Structure 1
Amino acid sequence: MTGRRRAVLIAGPTASGKSALALELAQAQDGIVVNADAMQIYEVLQVVTARPSDADMALAEHRLYGTVPAAVRFSTGQWLISVSEVMKNADPARPLIFVGGTGLYFDALLNGFADVPEVPAALALQVQQEIQALDGEQRLELLRREDPVAAARLKVVDPQRLTRALAVKQATGRTLSSFQDELSASMLADFLSVDRIVLDPDRDVLRKRIAVRFEQMFGGGAVDEVKVLRALDLDPSLPVMKAIGVREIGDWLDGAIEQDEAIELATIATQQYAKRQRTWFRNRFGDWPRRGA
């Protein structure tokens, strides 16, 4: 049945208007909006992560929003399994509109996925501490010894990549490159059509949107969401605890900073994140049609 299916992929940085475009297309085409954002998958943080409102989700079918408990470390592989369930249960005549800012989700959807086992956080931290004094050449030499295939593929061995490669090998006894060479097939390979869009607003426009949006979030339920999240007493290393706004609002609740500073810090962090997203999409999806917003 996949040969009848159509998909639309809408990527872009935060606050670029992705959700609004997805909703517009879903209403026009009787489509199903499928979340491709790693933070919007979690419960609790609807406002903080700019998840579509309940009112918007009532206007068209939305899937994989707020479905994962905050205490779970949800992986790209798990997201793909969830997507396969959506595909299995959806009418093949209805287009699937994937929308979000997590580039790895789109990459796995289109190009397949290497199912690398999760590494314990304590082990990753230990490895990170062991290599922190190494310079670039020393990092490269260490990776050549531990995973020569991975070393040959990388132009620069930054600490994050080296940490991941070493931790995976210590945890599994296998090199990271050996897992990466076992890609699954693209889930969209047999689709009738796959349209791709990257929303890429002017930088200054995007920065202003981010500033306005977080200020509105602060007064629109974000504080209550962070209170609920903190009451769960979760491991600080969990992905949901690293959502932009959680730490800043938490510091304000603790009296460590003023409200204006919390808003400013969260706004700056969001703008920096949007810059990283734009760079990632330009480097990896440079052939996707671009659209201002």
Structure 2
Amino acid sequence: MAQRALLIAGPTASGKTAMAIARSADERSLIINTDSMQVYDVLNIISARPNAEELAQAPHKMYGYVPPSVRFSTGAWLRDVEALIQQEGTNYQKLIFVGGTGLYFDALTNGFAQIPEIPQEVIQQVEEVIQPLDAKGRAKLLAEKDPEMAKRLQAPDPQRVARAISVIEATNKSLAQWQDEPNEPSILQGYDIEKIVLNPERDVLRERIALRFKLMMQAGAIEEVEAINALKLDPTLPAMRAIGVPEISAYLRGEMDLEEATEKSIIATHQYAKRQRTWFRNRMKDWHWIDPLA
């Protein structure tokens, strides 16, 4: 009998953790983080990692294990997952992958393009150029540097633009060309796979996002941002750009009041959820879509 894997994707605050825990109860299951922000240490509250009570209900792996000083990549995540499965996978009847990072799920199910590791200094230089740009500026820069990727990226968000430009700067080859080459086989090849996208009603999700962030503020988000700022990290690092970190940092510097920092964080979370939904609609049409809150 093939080993089973359950993949639970969805926008932020859609109830993924609750579903993963509920679905872990019927079989001996291992829950594996599939969210690019929840890999980072320090950012426990801000990244909405499972809390202590939730962690106690089932084995969880790959949460909060990467220092925030690291520019963690999809390839690095996939390599860690592969190593984890080899070491512990057979101890469980079912692997449950849960998170909101579409690229992680894509690499997991479709294999991953074998792009050379990009030097950190190249990534840092590119991110410093991109940081002050708005969406229009990022799109223009990408069109100049890599016209083929500019055609493919429907939403020129900072992370994807930085990735595309870093690849062509370091390899003299478009990310589009790398992506068009045959991928390595999926590490879940041979598994019995169930794929779910959580798709709550938009207004309900907006309410949940607002409530959750306000609860985060009460639970110690400010202290968490103080802790990561104390590390004096490069502001272009992914962990330093996690939603809530720039906004609360501005509050701590006296540049805005707490109410404004909270509201800006909630708005940024809404925008992120919208981008996630767009990605899932474009790339996960064949998954089972459900409203977990109906």
- What's the offset of the Cα at 1:115? 3.3
**For residues 59 and 21 of structure 1, what CA distance do their matches in structure 2 show?**
12
**For residues 138 and 242 of structure 2, what CA distance do their matches in structure 1 show?**
29
Which residue in 2 is equivalent to 1:50?
Answer: 48
Name the CA shift for 1:61/1:134 in 2 (closer, same or farther; >3 Å): closer
Is the 2:222–2:248 contact (alpha carbons within 8 Å) kept by the matching residues of 1? Answer: yes
Larger radius of gyration: 1
Which residue in 2 is equivalent to 1:109?
Answer: 108
- What's the offset of the Cα at 1:126? 4.8
AA at the equivalent of 1:280: W
Between 1:91-100 and 1:50-59, the stretch displaced more is 91-100
SS at match of 1:226: helix
**For residues 268 and 39 of structure 2, what CA distance do their matches in structure 1 show?**
20
AA at the equivalent of 2:183: L
- What's the offset of the Cα at 1:172? 2.0
Is the 2:40–2:67 contact (alpha carbons within 8 Å) kept by the matching residues of 1? Answer: yes
Choose from 72, 76, 81 the match for 2:70.
Answer: 72
Matched, 1:219 2:247: no
Q: Within 5 Å, which residues of 2 pair with 1:262-273?
A: 262-273=261-272
Which residue in 1 is equivalent to 2:198?
Answer: 199
Is the 1:11–1:199 contact (alpha carbons within 8 Å) kept by the matching residues of 2? Answer: yes
**For residues 212 and 232 of structure 1, what CA distance do their matches in structure 2 show?**
29
Is the 1:140–1:157 contact (alpha carbons within 8 Å) kept by the matching residues of 2? Answer: no
Q: Within 5 Å, which residues of 2 pair with 1:6-85?
A: 6-85=4-83
Between 1:258-267 and 1:109-118, the stretch displaced more is 109-118
**For residues 40 and 139 of structure 2, what CA distance do their matches in structure 1 show?**
37
User: Alpha carbon RMSD of aligned pairs, Å?
Assistant: 2.8
The count of aligned residue pairs is: 283
**For residues 245 and 214 of structure 2, what CA distance do their matches in structure 1 show?**
14
Which residue in 2 is equivalent to 1:147?
Answer: none
Is the 2:149–2:174 contact (alpha carbons within 8 Å) kept by the matching residues of 1? Answer: no
**For residues 159 and 200 of structure 1, what CA distance do their matches in structure 2 show?**
22
**For residues 12 and 137 of structure 2, what CA distance do their matches in structure 1 show?**
34
AA at the equivalent of 1:266: S
- Unaligned stretches of 5+ residues in structure 1: 145-149
Matched, 1:122 2:125: yes
SS at match of 1:59: coil
SS at match of 1:34: strand
- What's the offset of the Cα at 1:254? 1.6
AA at the equivalent of 2:21: L
SS at match of 1:39: coil
**For residues 197 and 157 of structure 1, what CA distance do their matches in structure 2 show?**
23
Name the CA shift for 1:167/1:62 in 2 (closer, same or farther; >3 Å): closer
The alignment's TM-score, normalised by the length of structure 2, stands at: 0.87
What percent identity do the matched residue pairs reach? Answer: 45
**For residues 53 and 272 of structure 2, what CA distance do their matches in structure 1 show?**
27
- What's the offset of the Cα at 1:251? 1.3
Name the CA shift for 1:162/1:90 in 2 (closer, same or farther; >3 Å): closer
AA at the equivalent of 2:2: R
AA at the equivalent of 1:285: M
